[in-house]
Chains A and B, each alone.
Chain A
Amino acid sequence: MSGYLLKRLFWMLPLLIGISLISFLIMHLAPGDITSTEASFNPKASEESRQKLRAIYNLDKPVIVQYGLWMKRMVTLDFGTSFASHQRPVFWQTKDKDGNVSKGMIQEALPITLLINVLSLVLIIAVALPLGVISALNQNRAPDRAITLFVFIGFAIPGFWLALMLMYWTGVVHNWLPISGIHSLGFEKMSWIAQAADSLKHLALPIFISSLGGLAGISLFVRNGMLDVLHQDYITTARAKGLSENTVVYRHALRNALLPLITILGLSIPGLIGGAVIAESIFAIPGMGKLFYDAVMMRDFPVIMGILTIGSALTLLGNLLADVAYAWADPRVRRGVMQ
């Protein structure tokens, strides 16, 4: 098992290099860089000062040399500093010589996005599992039809539109929930219970919005998985043995139907990270999506590269985790991996 793990971890390296190369090329294919976006804010900036700036940021060198320089820093996990935000470190905090700590941009944004994603995953599993099972046990009857309708609508509904509508309904018309940001004013002075309640109130809508597609997908997946398993011979055997329907459904069928779910959850990670862009921009949440959007708009290359690299690394780790979990849960796969 540990040999398999090491091999998989080792394979992530060339993949990450490939990803970074493609991201780098895409970024530099198009015209414009930080000096042109900053010049549009400050029309007095002369061509000469722009050239100086380009030289400072190494933007005057050929793309492949720039990539080499970036890679050289990456070897020591140095993600560099942002072009646009006053030289803030892209990834992790650094201390200057006076002992002032300046927090990393991704360091601040990532926990927020991860929190939203983890809570949405919890919500997805908590709701989609029972829905899928109910649907399968009532195949082609009213509950199944209703859940299938929900699934189709969940797939089709534009999340950002639902977000707007809910924001209007709960925030403007009824004033139940705050409509933007992640904290209320005076958050620092609250007790931790009030802090948690405040965060939950702010995150309720974003979490609901980002779990909607997954809810639909996973319910459908559990339903179809259950239907497949319920037609297997060993279920007939279990029933023939005289086991109660509950034991058959929950001990024999559900546990087997859930196995592929592990892989699906692993594969859904890039969607969860990337899908946050629109939700975060609507609710003004300072997460990875918002950071990426702003960086792209400013042509802030180090930040773009940092987010793409870390986002991809998280995705690869997610897939690896899913495979390991699958092997852990399914003895047949485990034996296959060991050999």
Chain B
Amino acid sequence: MKRALSNPLALSGFIIIASIFVLALAAPIIAPFDPEAIDVKAILLSPSMQHLMGTDGLGRDVFSRMLFGARISLLVGIVAVGIATAIGIVLGAISGYYRGWVDVVIMRFVDVMLSIPTFFLILAVIAFLTPSIWNIMIVIGLTSWMGVTRMVRAEFLSLRGREFVLAAETLGAKDARLIFKHLLPNSLTPIIVSSVLGVASAVLVESGLSFLGLGVQAPQASWGNILTDGKEYIQFAWWLSLFPGLAILITVLGYNLLGEGLRDALDPRT
């Protein structure tokens, strides 16, 4: 952990993400207005001291909506990647540890899933479900586990041949002990790095889906759907489009910096 935070990339990423987390958690305290309160006397006001990021077409305060939207982006990113990583670890571990026909079946399934253009797959599933934040998380999770599976499998395959694992096996360690005590802990670094980078892409996918109207539904705010509103008013109200995009950019940048930094810091080869 210390080594990871002394890496400048990881540190700057960590600071960015931590600040966004604080803002999102403290949203009810910081937000100057109710994010869903409509005010017809304050429609499309440009940014001012009272409305830091202006107001939208229904007179709602964009800054307050941005703060609450941050909660959605962070939550979706983490839960979706949690689901994908869990599936990836289980399937990858089974594949890499037991090998044989189970491995063949799982790997061919991975091939099939990877051959379907990802965004089409997500779109096909999400459009058939009622759009909600929970469905978004589940669908992103269920369509992004393939990379982790391949990685965990490759780690297991290479670790299986190492002396310390052979030693444990010779001493009569059971499957579960080998997997959970020896193989999995030694595969954690690449799993952590890929999860952090995965959160970045999940945040992007969520905002894209919300932008298409398939994500978080109004009146609840998410960065993606503030942008969708912004699209309608782009000729008169640039602030509606500028701020949510910047927020997504900074969040994704933060996760990418953290992930790349962790990779540099934790990889013994560099």
Contact = CB atoms under 8 A, between A and B. Distances in A.
Interface stretch (B29-37, B160-168, B251-259): B251-259
B209 to A, nearest CB: 9
A293 B123 contact: yes
Contact of A19 (B116, B123, B208): B116
Given A152-B253, A293-B212, A27 B108 contact: no
The DSSP consensus for interface residues of chain A is helix
Contact of B245 (A26, A153, A162, A311): A162
B188 interface: no
A165 to B, nearest CB: 7
Interface stretch (B52-60, B75-83, B228-236): B228-236
19 contacts: A15-B111, A26-B124, A26-B125, A27-B128, A153-B253, A156-B248, A156-B250, A161-B245, A162-B245, A164-B245, A270-B114, A270-B116, A274-B119, A274-B120, A274-B121, A296-B128, A308-B120, A308-B124, A312-B115
Interface residues of A, number: 48
Given A157-B252, A164-B231, 11 more contacts: A19-B116, A26-B128, A30-B125, A152-B253, A158-B252, A161-B227, A165-B245, A168-B238, A270-B115, A274-B118, A308-B120
Interface in A175-226: none
A153 B248 CA distance: 11
Contacts, number: 134
Given A23-B124, A164-B231, A281-B212, A153 B249 contact: yes
Contact of A312 (B117, B235, B250): B117
B258 to A, nearest CB: 11
Interface string B190-234: 000000000010001001100110000000000000010011001
A324 B244 CA distance: 43
B112 interface: yes
Contacts of B123: 277, 292-293, 296
Interface string A272-314: 0111011001100000000011001101000010011001100
